[in-house]
């Protein structure tokens, strides 16, 4: 029985894609949390969430399987538009990218 969960997805062992995902998810997550290059990394992560949402989750289970990833993509897109905020490191160095 195929229920559309992540556990049923086949493994992907492409090293180039995995290194890019690790970079944008871990390093990008740290940069977003610190507020350093927030707009750049939030835009990259929003694009990544859109790709994951519409190519992995949406075809398998529709909106109800993809809603969590979809909402995180919207949050990251709004961060890319808004920037890091008043306490971000971008504002402290005086240049927001």
With respect to residue 6, please indicate whether it lies within any of the assigned structural domains.
Answer: no
Phi-psi region at 35: left, alpha or beta (left = phi > 0; alpha = psi -120 to 50): left
Report whether 24 contacts 44 (CB < 8 A): yes
Give how many domains the chain has, as a whole number: 1
| Half-sphere exposure (Cβ direction) of 82: Cα atoms closer than 13 Å | 12
Q: What is the pLDDT of residues 81-91, one digit of tens each?
A: 999 888 899 88
Write out the two tokens for 50: 């859109």
With respect to residue 13, please indicate whether it lies within any of the assigned structural domains.
Answer: no
Residues of the domain holding 88: 36-97
Q: What is the pLDDT of residues 10-24, one digit of tens each?
A: 776 778 888 888 888
With respect to residue 72, please indicate whether it lies within any of the assigned structural domains.
Answer: yes
pTM equals 0.79
Least confident of 7-11, 22-26, 62-66: 7-11
Q: What is the pLDDT of residues 41-58, one digit of tens each?
A: 999 999 999 998 998 888
Q: What is the pLDDT of residue 7?
A: 62
Report whether 84 contacts 96 (CB < 8 A): yes
With respect to residue 30, please indicate whether it lies within any of the assigned structural domains.
Answer: no
């Amino acid at each position: 029985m195929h229920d559309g969960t992540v556990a049923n997805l086949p493994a992907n062992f492409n090293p180039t894609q995995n290194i890019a995902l690790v970079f944008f998810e871990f390093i990008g997550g740290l940069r977003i949390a610190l507020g350093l290059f927030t707009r750049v990394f939030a835009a990259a992560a929003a694009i990544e969430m859109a790709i994951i949402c519409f190519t992995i989750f949406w075809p398998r289970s529709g909106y109800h399987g993809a809603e969590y990833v979809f909402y995180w993509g919207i949050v990251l897109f709004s961060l890319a538009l808004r920037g890091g905020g008043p306490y971000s490191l971008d504002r402290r160095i005086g240049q927001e990218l």
